[in-house]
């Protein structure tokens, strides 16, 4: 053993020291003494010196291998001396050097080599390359005697500063190696120890800054961009490429992950290309990129249209394009496959026809001239008329063996008989045909693998987005680029109210959900008893814990919710409201299978055994503590929280308790100690890190949305109140439109229930975007089968760590609910899309104000939505800062090519100049003022001469539309009681006009005799025309106006009273065609036919 150790030491000294002088190729001294651009010699002395270093390394490497063999032979002789004479042993039987022994030899070798030769490695060749560059450009694969890889290790170890230098092509050594597909160089770099790799990563930072002023191509912008470019390493072993990529990602500086190329793509974007699904371990590469550089998740790519898309949308778009290319390729291969079969089928037939095989005469067709076919050089054939169409082609597969399938036909000139020739030999079976078929099957397999990788990547991006982004950003991040995506990412019940299960489903069944929800929030819900709800059929008993009902509703296959990131439930007992906390069993059943990650269930002393049943995915938990020490002990024992291995944060919130502060502190301190002990015992050797423990010894102001947000808004909520008419005569305007809309609603209802031909095309109903403070969807005037959709731009803050969205199906003041009821009352078939603004109470005032930024976002959203009408029954002061964004949003909406009409309320601040937005931001919108029952403009309306129309807006009363809303409620919305009501009625009337034209189109399409008469036919072009603001304004004026109001007050009874009477007669006579003709007549009136 001592002899072997001595031999190893001797060999090491020879390889690293003594041999060094013997293997010198030339006396280089300092090979930079002569400039490389010497015009007389034209010799690049730096390059020559680098080559000499490599030759020295090659010789030393060969000598090392020789000495290792000599050492093994020596070991053989030593072993043989101890053996009997009749025993034989070859050198192959000797145990080779251990890995550590070889590594020691190599380490001493390259360390000594590096120290001896490194002094001139910083010098530059004609191409501006240092020694590391020179190694990166080495043709390792083509060289019969390649440079040993340890030379790279030596150079990187001795001169890491060379890693950030760029040559004349702008490449660093690592980027050059990647671009030249130099796998050995890259692998050698990554053999450095972890600490050394991190140091090397610092030298790559220069790539993140020097690119701004350079002309580097996108594929070589940084080493990460280069490595993720498909053509680099495309022919290399998949495991090598994966190893290079993963190592490169682990060492790259954080700044590199957000560097964008000229197309706005980060390395993450390149990895997300669907075609890069061929990358080995693509899913792991994407995950590691996001782990090392999470900031890249928020970098949006700008499209040519100017729109910015998230990395999630980028991958979806990439997949869509790749799917299209794949289908095109599959069709091409299918055609080639069919053509190949046809060629193989035709070849024997042609040979039999020319060699005069036996013929069978069949009486039949007239003789025809034989046709020929051209053949190209490659042996394939051009498409000719002789090829049979698909209906006459022979079957593929086993059917090719059927004799008649291979019989060809021809005619002899002058014969009335068609002859059939039997070929010399039948074509081979499909075993010789599948060249294109096999290629198609292979591509299908690869495509399925790419799809599977893509699905996993999309799922990971979705989860990461929902975990880290605010709800509004998450919604934009995951939004479909095309079409209206009605699915929501969260569910918030809204404020506390009493509701039965059937009522709950009736209000919320219209919602569509994604399979993963960002959060679900419930307040204290008071469930009606069977007697209170009136739904007693089929029910024999009431479910003891109603919380299960609501989570089962989410779990149902119709909604398909599979996972919930965060759950927020207000579950404190409220004896005044007769609310009892939910049971442990109810909580377990409610959350089972949802893989909840963050739990904020505000019920004191939740049982740890319950947590273990549903909480294996929990990362964070808020535990509400009554102050009793036994509860702390249960949470901290061996069968408690320590069993939840994924926990990262625990927050203890003290909500009750009679103990002194000192005792409370002692109990909490002991809790921490016990949990640390039980955790270390459950997960030894640091398998799972101990979660962070936070203590809040007092009841916080934020106990979920229910306590922090909903209760705070109760002061402004609309409460049912007895109707008080104040002896006011109803508006004639309102009574007229109420009767007409009732008749119109029945027509629309019957039309939607009628069976029609499959190819029948019915234009979609008008879409009205109501921008307000939300709408109470459960209101009786809105609860019938009406299509409602919505979104919310009002967010709330819970503490400092979480933001939620106030649901659009809840109106903070009742104002938005009233506006929706008015629009729906005038036009019952309109699709009302609720867009909730952010509102806040003004200082020293209970009146609600509107956040300007949310108003801008709402207008943009309504434009992208494709709404035909935007109703904004509010005003805001001109933005104190730059109002360009507001003006641009208004301009984009009003110039939309599809046609958008915008109705804005006039300010009700008195006889002053009205400079309020949104109308002041663009004069193309309709400015609406309120009027009394006689049509007189309200005195509170400013700039009356600049109004487009005035509508009823003073003490307007409709028995069933808003009997539970009095004037006081309207006044609370920043003094818009008059004009805000008028604006909603104007928007409703405009929607009704468009709907009349739409039904006119339907009537024309279903009655062909009307389609050829231009004076009667109502066409799709007419529907597109009426959606334009100017055409809509003329249609409204055609109803009839009051001259005393400057032709601004529409006297609707002039047109609609007679039509209502006629519709009523047709309905009583069951004459649906007459009803539709009456509506079509209205459409022609609006179109001025």
Q: Is the pLDDT of residue 20 over 70?
A: no
Query: Of 772, 773, 974, 1022, which residue is the catalytic one?
Result: 772
Q: Work out the pLDDT band at 732, boundaries 50, 70, 90.
A: confident
- How much is the pLDDT for 1066? 94
- How much is the pLDDT for 737? 93
The continuous run of DSSP H or E covering 840 comes out as strand 839-841
- How much is the pLDDT for 606? 94
Q: Among 9-18, 78-87, 604-613, 782-791, which stretch is predicted with the lowest mean pLDDT?
A: 9-18
Task: Give the helix ranges, DSSP H, for 293-374.
Answer: 311-354
Domain boundaries, the chain: 1-23+41-117, 121-259, 299-367+396-468, 470-534+544-716, 767-993
Among 352, 344, 423, 333, smallest CA distance to 380 is for: 344
The continuous run of DSSP H or E covering 887 comes out as helix 884-894
Q: Among 66-70, 152-156, 605-609, 962-966, which stretch is predicted with the lowest mean pLDDT?
A: 962-966
980 catalytic, yes or no?
yes
For residue range 382-425, list pLDDT tens digits in order.
444 444 444 444 444 444 344 434 444 444 444 444 444 444 44
- How much is the pLDDT for 211? 61
For residues 310 and 478, give the distance between their C-alpha atoms in angstroms, rounded to a whole number: 8
Q: Which residues pair with 795 in a beta bridge?
A: 805
How is residue 1077 written in tokens?
């003709």
Best CATH choice for the domain 767-993 from the list 1.10.1060.10, 3.40.50.200, 3.40.50.300, 3.40.50.720: 3.40.50.200
Q: Work out the pLDDT band at 783, boundaries 50, 70, 90.
A: low
More confident residue, 645 or 232: 645
Omega before 1035 cis (within 30°)?
Answer: no
For residues 24 and 832, give the distance between their C-alpha atoms in angstroms, rounded to a whole number: 87
For residues 611 and 567, give the distance between their C-alpha atoms in angstroms, rounded to a whole number: 13
| Pairing verdict, β 563-570 and 788-792 | unpaired
Q: Is 221 exposed, middle or buried (0-12, 13-18, 19+ CB in 10 A)?
A: buried
- How much is the pLDDT for 674? 95
For residue range 847-872, list pLDDT tens digits in order.
678 888 899 999 999 998 889 999 99
How large is the angle between the packed helices 435-468 and 471-478, nearest 10 degrees? 170
Q: Is the pLDDT of residue 67 over 80?
A: no
For residue range 89-132, list pLDDT tens digits in order.
555 555 565 667 666 767 777 777 878 888 889 999 999 999 99
Is residue 1086 within 8 A of residue 1030, CB to CB? The reply is no
Assign 1088 to helix, strand or coil.
coil
815 catalytic, yes or no?
yes
In the chain, the percentage of residues whose pLDDT exceeds 90 is: 34
Is residue 471 within 8 A of residue 520, CB to CB? The reply is no
Q: Work out the pLDDT band at 1089, boundaries 50, 70, 90.
A: confident
Among 634, 654, 652, 653, smallest CA distance to 642 is for: 634
Is residue 391 within 8 A of residue 383, CB to CB? The reply is no
Highest mean pLDDT of the ranges 60-64, 79-83, 520-524, 613-617: 613-617
Q: Among 93-97, 291-295, 478-482, 579-583, which stretch is predicted with the lowest mean pLDDT?
A: 93-97
The continuous run of DSSP H or E covering 491 comes out as strand 490-492
For residue range 268-305, list pLDDT tens digits in order.
999 999 877 556 688 999 999 999 999 999 999 988 88
Return mean pLDDT, the chain.
77
- How much is the pLDDT for 716? 29
1015 catalytic, yes or no?
no
- pTM value surpassing 0.85: no
Query: Of 45, 582, 815, 1003, which residue is the catalytic one?
Result: 815
- How much is the pLDDT for 231? 76
Task: Give the helix ranges, DSSP H, for 35-172.
Answer: 45-81, 99-117, 131-136, 150-158
More confident residue, 699 or 1026: 1026
Backbone angles phi, psi at 921, to 5 degrees: -80, -20
Assign 650 to helix, strand or coil.
strand
Q: Is the pLDDT of residue 658 over 50?
A: yes
Among 627, 647, 634, 615, smallest CA distance to 674 is for: 634
Among 845, 841, 852, 843, smallest CA distance to 812 is for: 841
Q: Is the pLDDT of residue 4 over 60?
A: no
Q: Is the pLDDT of residue 988 over 60?
A: yes
DSSP state for residue 903 in the 8-state scheme: E
Query: Of 873, 980, 1003, 1066, which residue is the catalytic one?
Result: 980
- How much is the pLDDT for 910? 64
- How much is the pLDDT for 972? 42
For residue range 531-540, list pLDDT tens digits in order.
454 544 444 4
Backbone angles phi, psi at 841, to 5 degrees: -80, 130
């Amino acid at each position: 053993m001592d002899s072997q150790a001595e031999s190893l030491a001797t060999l090491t000294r020879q390889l690293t020291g003594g041999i060094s002088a013997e293997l010198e190729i030339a006396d280089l001294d300092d090979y930079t003494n002569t400039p490389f651009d010497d015009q007389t010699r034209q010799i690049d002395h730096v390059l020559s010196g680098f080559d000499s270093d490599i030759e020295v390394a090659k010789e030393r490497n060969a000598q090392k291998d020789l000495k290792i063999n000599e050492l093994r032979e020596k070991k053989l002789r030593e072993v043989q001396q101890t053996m009997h004479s009749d025993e034989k042993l070859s050198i192959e039987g000797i145990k080779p050097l251990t890995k550590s022994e070889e590594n020691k030899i190599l380490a001493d070798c390259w360390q000594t080599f590096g120290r001896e030769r490194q002094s001139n490695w910083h010098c530059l060749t004609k191409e501006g390359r240092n020694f590391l560059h020179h190694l990166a450009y080495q043709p390792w694969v083509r060289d019969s005697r390649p440079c040993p890889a340890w030379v790279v290790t030596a150079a990187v170890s001795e001169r890491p500063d060379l890693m950030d230098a760029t040559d004349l092509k702008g490449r660093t050594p690592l980027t050059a190696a990647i671009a030249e597909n130099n796998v050995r160089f890259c692998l050698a770099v990554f053999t450095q120890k972890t600490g050394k790799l991190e140091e090397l990563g610092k030298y790559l930072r220069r790539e993140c800054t020097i690119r701004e002023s350079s002309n580097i191509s996108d594929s070589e912008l940084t080493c990460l961009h280069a490595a993720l470019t498909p053509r680099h390493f495309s022919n290399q072993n998949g495991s090598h490429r994966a190893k290079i990529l993963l190592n490169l990602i682990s060492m790259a500086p954080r700044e590199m992950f957000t560097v964008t190329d000229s197309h706005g793509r980060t390395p993450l974007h390149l990895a997300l290309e669907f075609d890069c699904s061929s990358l080995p371990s693509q899913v792991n590469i994407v995950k590691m990129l996001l782990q090392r550089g999470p900031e890249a998740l928020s970098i949006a790519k700008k499209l040519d249209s100017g729109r910015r898309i998230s990395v999630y949308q980028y991958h979806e778009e990439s997949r869509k394009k790749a799917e299209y290319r794949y289908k095109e390729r599959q069709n091409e291969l299918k055609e080639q496959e069919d053509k190949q079969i046809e060629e193989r089928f035709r070849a024997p037939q042609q040979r039999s026809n020319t060699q005069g095989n036996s013929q069978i005469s069949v009486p039949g067709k007239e003789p025809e001239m034989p046709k020929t076919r051209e053949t190209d050089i490659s042996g394939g054939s051009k498409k000719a008329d002789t090829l049979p169409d698909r209906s006459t082609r022979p079957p593929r597969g086993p059917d090719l063996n059927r004799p008649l399938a291979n019989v060809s036909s021809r005619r002899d000139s002058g014969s009335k008989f068609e002859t059939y020739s039997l070929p010399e030999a039948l074509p081979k079976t499909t075993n010789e045909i599948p060249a294109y078929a096999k290629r198609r099957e292979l591509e299908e397999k690869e495509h399925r693998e790419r799809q599977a990788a893509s699905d996993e990547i999309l799922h990971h991006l979705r989860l990461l987005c929902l975990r880290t982004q605010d709800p509004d950003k998450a919604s934009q991040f995951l939004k479909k680029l095309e079409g209206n995506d009605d699915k929501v990412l969260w569910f918030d019940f809204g404020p506390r109210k009493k509701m039965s299960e059937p009522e709950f489903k009736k209000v919320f069944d219209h919602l569509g959900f994604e399979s993963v929800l960002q959060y679900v929030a419930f307040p204290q819900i008071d469930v009606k008893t069977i007697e209170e709800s009136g739904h007693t059929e089929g029910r024999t008993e009431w479910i003891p814990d109603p919380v299960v009902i609501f989570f089962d509703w989410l779990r149902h296959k119709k909604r398909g919710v599979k996972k919930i990131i965060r759950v927020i439930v207000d579950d404190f007992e409220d004896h005044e409201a007769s609310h009892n906390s939910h049971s442990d069993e109810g909580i377990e059943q409610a959350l089972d299978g949802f893989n909840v990650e963050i739990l904020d269930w505000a019920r004191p002393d939740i049982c740890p055994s319950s947590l273990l049943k549903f909480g294996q995915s929990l990362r964070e938990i808020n535990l509400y503590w009554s102050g009793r020490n036994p509860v702390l002990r249960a949470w901290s024992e061996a069968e408690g929280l320590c069993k939840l291995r994924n926990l990262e944060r625990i927050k203890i919130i003290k909500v009750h308790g009679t103990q002194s502060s000192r005792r409370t502190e002692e109990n909490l301190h002991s809790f921490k100690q016990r949990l640390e002990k039980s955790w270390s015992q459950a997960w030894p050797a640091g398998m799972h890190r101990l979660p962070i423990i936070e203590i809040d010894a007092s009841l916080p102001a934020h106990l979920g949305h229910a306590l922090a947000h909903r209760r705070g808004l109760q002061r402004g909520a609309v409460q049912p109140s007895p109707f008080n008419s104040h002896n006011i005569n109803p508006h004639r305007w309102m009574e007229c439109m109420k009767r007409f809309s009732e008749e119109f609603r029945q027509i629309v209802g019957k039309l939607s229930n009628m069976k029609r031909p499959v190819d029948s095309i019915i234009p979609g109903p008008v879409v009205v975007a109501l921008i307000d403070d939300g709408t109470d969807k459960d209101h009786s005037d809105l609860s019938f089968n009406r299509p409602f959709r919505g979104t919310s731009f009002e967010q709330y803050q819970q503490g400092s760590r979480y933001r939620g969205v106030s649901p659009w199906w809840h109106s903070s003041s009742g104002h938005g609910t009233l506006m929706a009821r008015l629009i729906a009352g005038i036009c019952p078939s309109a699709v009302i899309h609720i867009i909730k603004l952010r509102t806040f109470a003004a200082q020293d005032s209970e009146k609600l104000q509107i956040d300007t930024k949310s108003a801008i976002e709402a207008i943009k959203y309504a434009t992208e939505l494709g709404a035909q009408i935007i109703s904004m029954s509010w005003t805001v002061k001109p933005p104190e800062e730059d109002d360009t964004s507001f003006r641009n949003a208004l301009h984009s909406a009003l110039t939309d090519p599809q046609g958008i009409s915008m109705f804005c309320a006039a300010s009700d601040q008195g006889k002053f100049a009205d400079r309020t937005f949104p109308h002041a931001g663009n004069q193309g919108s309709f400015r609406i003022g309120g009027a009394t029952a006689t049509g007189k403009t309200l005195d509170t309306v400013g700039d009356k001469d600049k109004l487009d129309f005035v509508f009823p807006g003073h003490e307007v009363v409709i028995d069933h539309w808003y009997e539970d809303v009095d004037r006081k409620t309207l006044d609370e919305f920043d003094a818009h009681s008059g004009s805000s009501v008028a604006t909603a009625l104007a928007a409703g009337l405009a929607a009704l006009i468009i709907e009349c034209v739409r039904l006119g189109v339907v009537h024309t399409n279903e009655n062909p005799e009307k389609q050829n008469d231009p004076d009667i036919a109502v066409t799709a072009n007419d529907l597109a025309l009426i959606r334009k603001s100017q055409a809509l304004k003329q249609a409204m004026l055609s109803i009839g106006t009051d001259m005393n109001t400057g032709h601004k007050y529409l006297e609707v009874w002039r047109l609609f009273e007679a039509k209502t009477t006629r519709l009523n007669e047709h309905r009583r006579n069951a004459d649906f065609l007459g009803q539709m003709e009456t509506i079509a007549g209205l459409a022609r009136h609006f179109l001025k036919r």
